[in-house]
Amino acid sequence: MGPSLADVRAWVQVPASILSDPQLQIVLDAELLLQARLCRIGPDDTLDPNLTQAIYRRVAREVAARGVPLGMLGADSEYGPARLSRWDSEIDRLEGPSRVLVFG
């Protein structure tokens, strides 16, 4: 079981007037499902602190990318638009010890 919606909202610091509870819940559920497929979760479905922190970061990245066409950021910046990276090294660092290796 991951963090509550209230905990995620407090960490991400996005008000309900910008992102409703049902919208944020969909993001949280999707990220928890992705993490559960990638990582070893405790026997009682509780997340270690590192996995909880990774969920916060996963949700924050998804929320930050809302309304950004094709993941492009800073179209008006000095050096032109930049693409939002698909890989977050901090999430990799936090989830790394719990990752499940699959050989197929």
For residue range 4-17, what is the model confidence (pLDDT) as tens digits?
999 999 999 999 99
Q: How far apart are CA 1 and CA 41, in angstroms?
A: 9
What pLDDT shows up at residue 74?
A: 57
pLDDT band at residue 40, thresholds of 50, 70 and 90?
A: confident
pTM of the model: 0.77
What pLDDT shows up at residue 49?
A: 92
What pLDDT shows up at residue 65?
A: 79
Q: Please name which of 6, 8, 89 lies closest in space to residue 55, comparing C-alpha atoms.
A: 8
The dihedral through the CA atoms of 42, 86, 6, 94 has a sign that is positive
Output phi, psi for 45, to 5 deg.
60, 25
Axis crossing angle, helix 5-12 with helix 21-38, rounded to the nearest 10: 100
